[in-house]
Amino acid sequence: MKILLIEDEIALSQVIMQSLVDEQYLVEQAFDYESALSKIALYAYDCILLDIMLPGGSGLQLLEQVKEMGKDESIIILSAKDSVDDKVKGLELGADDYLAKPFHLAELHARIKSIIRRKNQQGDDILVYKNVALNTTDRTTQVNNKIINLNRKEFDLLYYFMIRPTKLVQKNALAESIWGDHIDQADSLDFIYSQIKNLRKKLKDNHAQLDIQAVYGIGYKLI
């Protein structure tokens, strides 16, 4: 699950980022309006954490831009301005939640998990497809109620496909979502093949009723 953290206070941003990394999220950062807008235009995220006060523009303006682009990222506003007007305006513009500073990191984590559950998992901690179940809270995977061992990237790959069953996923989009924005600068994405090969073998060895099919020249899809 990939998060964009838009926060101009660098020290605070680093603290929040580290706490999210410890929770197994992939985190990208932006520190001003223009860099945030550029990232949102170029890449996709599961959740955006958006400060209202930014160098170069306001978070509310950025929120309007996000919606005008037709992006569907979940957005949590983070702001020291504990103003009812700001909260109402943000929610009217399409934000999913609002958290006033200072806040406990545990509360932020809970808000993120709640939003992602609603968006991708119909509100459940367990994501099920055929005879495979992913527990997104403790990051365990079961096939026919038997736990199988996946490493972090294998789990992330399987989750990415299971919330998009039968949908064709382009290789670039998959790489950016699992390995981060800067992966688009890599000379080759061949490493994805080996990761998916290992994941497919574990699924097959445990008699999973699903597979990941390569679509030549484009990407992959769950079948």
Q: Are residues 48 and 72 in the same domain?
A: yes
Q: What is the pLDDT along the chain (223 residues), one digit of tens a residue?
A: 899 999 999 999 999 999 999 998 999 999 999 999 999 998 889 899 999 889 999 999 999 998 889 888 899 999 876 677 778 888 888 899 999 888 999 999 999 988 888 777 666 788 899 999 999 888 999 999 999 999 999 999 999 999 888 889 998 889 898 888 888 777 778 888 889 999 999 999 999 999 999 998 889 999 9
Q: Are residues 58 and 35 in the same domain?
A: yes
- The domain boundary residue, chosen from 86, 120, 154: 120
User: What is the rounded CA–CA span in Å between residue 82 and residue 67?
Assistant: 23
Joined tokens for residue 14: 């680093």
Q: What is the pTM of this model?
A: 0.76
Smallest CA-to-CA distance from 36 within 11, 56, 6, 65 is with 6
| pLDDT at residue 81 in the model | 66
Q: Are residues 113 and 10 in the same domain?
A: yes
For residue 102, give the DSSP letter: S
Long-range contacts of 115-118 (CB under 8 A, 24+ apart): 115/47, 115/74, 115/76, 116/1, 116/46, 116/47, 116/74
- The domain boundary residue, chosen from 89, 120, 151: 120
Q: Are residues 179 and 200 in the same domain?
A: yes
Q: Provide the residue count of the chain.
A: 223
Smallest CA-to-CA distance from 98 within 60, 58, 125, 61 is with 60
Q: Are residues 134 and 210 in the same domain?
A: yes
Q: Are residues 204 and 100 in the same domain?
A: no
CATH code for position 31: 3.40.50.2300
What is the tally of structural domains in the chain? 2
Q: 217 lies in which domain range?
A: 126-222
| pLDDT at residue 136 in the model | 86
Q: Are residues 93 and 51 in the same domain?
A: yes
CATH code for position 190: 1.10.10.10
Q: Are residues 91 and 157 in the same domain?
A: no
- The domain boundary residue, chosen from 72, 91, 120: 120
For residue 208, give the DSSP letter: -
Q: Are residues 176 and 212 in the same domain?
A: yes
Q: Are residues 27 and 114 in the same domain?
A: yes
CA terminus-to-terminus distance, the chain? 21
**Cα–chain center distance at 87:** 23
Q: Are residues 83 and 102 in the same domain?
A: yes
Work out the angle at residue 109's Cα, subtended by the Cα atoms of residues 103 and 115, and round it to the nearest 5 degrees: 110
